[in-house]
Amino acid sequence: MSQKEKRYQSFSGIPLKDLYSPTDLDSIGFDYNQDLNKSGQYPYTRGIRSGMYRDELWIMGQYSGFGSAEEANLRYRYLLEQGQTGFSVALDLPTQIGLDSDNPLSRGEVGKVGVAIDSLEDIEKLFDGIPLEKVRQIRTTANSIGPVMTALIVAFAEKNENDPNMIKVLVQNDPLKEYFARGTYVFPPDAAVKLAVDVIEYCAQRLTNWVPMALSGYHIRESGSTAVQELAFCYADGMSYFKDAVGRGLNIDQFAPKLYTFFTAQMDLLEEVAKFRAARRVWAKIIKEQYGANNPDSMKLSILAYTAGGMLTAQQPLNNVVRVTIEALAAVLGGVQTLATSSYDEAFSIPTEQAVTVALRTQQIIANESGIVNTVDPLGGGYAVESLTAAIEKGVNEYIERIIELGGAVECIRSGFFQKELAKEAYKYQKSIESGEKIVVGLNAYQSEDEEEIPIFAADPETEARQVKRLNELKRRRDSLQLAGAMDSLRKDAVAGKNIIPAAVTAVKAYATLGEITECLKEVYGTYKDPGIY
């Protein structure tokens, strides 16, 4: 392929014609009713609700949280006052891998990239004074610790004599992508699937208003994948969970209506719009044809989109405001249900209040001033967009077939297939920037010698010491006999292969820590070590 031909392709490498016309749709066998139909009707290419944003805007939320639970609580209150309608609890790295703040491996990382959550006491402080029943969606990045985070929130609600089902919670709870795209894994893949499905089963039976899983393509894309791989690898992971859930006797219609997917919104606007549309179409067909769903809501894919942090640059950081705007436009034009926007300073640190406010205002301006919410699927029917949608759908289906032939997602993790595919694409992308084939303004073109400095968020250096002190005080004053009995029950349920959520809720109420619960489960399920297959 010549340099000129390479230039005229989508971000993911799909060739682009100079001009699209009706003959392009004829060549792919485009059928309006089968491929599009009306919004709110199968295969939901145009959206999962008939009126879409005319009826209700998407949930506006920011990925936020840092330091201690008290510090994160103040940020959530501020954002809600600014008009945010949902929020996502960013967890620090020790929390994400089930380590307490006083663990030696946690040293230097407590509260750095998210909030530290060690126990129910931290959850109580995190949500203090926030009217949770009025927040449209509370999200958490818990993946490998999805069951524990579920137990923490359930215990918090029940301790306060509230119905946990009245809190609108979204638990990310997708551990498989951690093994090849993110790294915060704990247990072996088979055990991780079992624990993730514990959450799905528990929610299907007791927490029907919760979202028990958000299948995550976002981290796959940020690790270097193409748009096609983002969808295909994400759905392949989902099929592993579905197999386990159905094997337990759950019907697809018992849990699929509440599931979300979590995708990036990248810079290639037309490809991203097509990606979100193709994502809905592929999902609808998989759920209907492979799992025999009868409930239309099972086939309606709810999408959480987050603008791509990997596209932001430390060079000329104010340019990131424009990048985030383009990415947010792609998400809205693609018809997502929830949107979080990155802040222009995220290439440096946790966002400042000013930066995170600009990110929220970006969504509010798009919603209230751009006019694009006044009609459903405004780019639908466009020759280029429909061609790209069909190309992405075809590519996703081909990848899924290949993954199935290789034994499914878990086997692709063990063999290194996913890892190798991502490494190959990430290398190609980096080479394109280094060669100048891909222009990134301020990075490899249009540089400025004198760049304007921006305020950078500085974390409180005493946060970790205070967190460790509080944790140690909690451990001294809790009821040791109650704790021992609760942990013994948790261990027995894990050994017996039971759903561990009820026992975990009891342990959390006894103020067992995240680290103690995780260590108990490690004794039963073991841990995972990356074989480094590349």
The model's pTM is 0.95
Confidence bin at 4 (pLDDT 50/70/90): low
Which CATH class name applies to 3-64+172-434? alpha beta
Most trustworthy range by pLDDT among 88-97, 136-145, 215-224: 215-224
Check the CA dihedral 430-435-441-446 and report its sign: positive
For the ranges 53-62, 133-142, 377-386, which has the lowest average pLDDT?
A: 133-142
The pLDDT of residue 76 is 86
Q: Kindly tell me if the per-residue pLDDT of 6 is higher than 80.
A: no
Work out the burial of residue 21: count CB atoms within 10 Å of its CB; fewer than 13 is exposed, 13-18 middle, 19 or more buried. Answer: exposed
Report pLDDT for 533.
57
**How confident is the model over 496-505, as pLDDT tens digits?**
999 999 999 9
Q: What pLDDT is stored for residue 5 in this prediction? A: 57
Percent of the chain with pLDDT over 90: 85
How far is it, in rounded angstroms, from Cα 52 to Cα 46? 9
The pLDDT assigned to 87 comes to 80
Distance, in Å, from the CA atom of 504 to the CA atom of 177, rounded to the nearest integer, reads: 24
Tokens, residue 323:
């990048």
Strand order in the sheet with 59-64: 169-171, 137-140, 86-89, 59-64, 338-340, 302-307, 260-265, 214-216
Task: Write out pLDDT tens, residues 467-478.
Answer: 999 999 999 999
Boundaries of every domain in the chain:
3-64+172-434, 463-525
Q: DSSP labels for 309-376?
A: GGG--SSSTTHHHHHHHHHHHHHHHTT-SEEE---TTTTTSSPPHHHHHHHHHHHHHHHHHS-GGGSS
pLDDT bracket for residue 2 (50, 70, 90)? low
Segment 8-46, tens digit of pLDDT: 999 999 999 999 999 999 999 999 999 999 999 999 999
Mean of pLDDT values over 170-174: 96
Tell me how far apart the alpha carbons of residues 472 and 216 are, in angstroms, rounded to a whole number.
Answer: 35
Per-residue pLDDT at 298 exceeds 90: yes
In whole angstroms, give the CA distance from residue 218 to residue 260.
12
pLDDT at residue 144, rounded to an integer? 97
Contact criterion met (CB below 8 Å) for 173 and 142: yes
Of 6-15, 120-129, 231-240, 491-500, least confident by mean pLDDT is 6-15
